[in-house]
Structure 1
């Protein structure tokens, strides 16, 4: 699970941080926190931590690996084409 953790950036949507807390993964995007519910392989469904009146954000989040087998980008199908967030390198 730790390999999924880190900050992922998209120029238009900003940064999503994936955190591990109490044995679960969470996606934090500035003011919202979502539980990541494992679906299969490297695919999770984001579930809101609280009721959101305007929308139901249960999107599939797909982590991909690079040539070294490390988790690299993640994509979410927010539009007709998936939106890609690139994992930031820890310094």
Structure 2
């Protein structure tokens, strides 16, 4: 927890300490602050969602662009081949 009482995301690891006769002597606990990792994951998810939205719009944009080219050139293709004279 922070000084202001807010929760902090942590990764917790635990290991046992054993003596020569395998008796339990204690535990070692390590808590690691993973706030930056969580923020990076949230940013990645936000960006992936934006890319998915853009990808869904691509087919519609392509059809619009092809239609504009067809209207300007008066042909049924979105491109023209130019051969040297």
More strand by share: 1
The TM-score bracket by the shorter chain reads under 0.3
**TM-score, normalised by the number of residues in structure 1:** 0.22
Report which structure shows greater RCO (CA 8 Å, sep ≥6). 1
Rg (Cα) greater in structure: 2
**TM-score, normalised by the number of residues in structure 2:** 0.23
